[in-house]
Structure 1
């Protein structure tokens, strides 16, 4: 987990990372 990144960037960026993770799961479970 990127704790430092979460602390230095807004929460919206964390939400975007979650969406990207879901997309990656659909495209091959990466």
Structure 2
């Protein structure tokens, strides 16, 4: 399903953005 693929990519993008906003160091240690 294309919608599922888009949801996965969206989730990854949001997770990456959250990690950057929090700080890569904190994200890695968590």
TM-score by length of 2: 0.55
User: Number of residue pairs matched?
Assistant: 21
Decide which structure has the larger Cα Rg and report it.
2
- Counting helix residues as a fraction of each chain, which structure ranks higher? 2
TM-score by length of 1: 0.55
Which structure 1 residue ranges, 5 or more long, are not aligned?
1-8
In the TM superposition, structure 1's runs of 4+ consecutive aligned residues that sit over 3 Å from their partners are none
Which structure 2 residue ranges, 5 or more long, are not aligned?
24-30
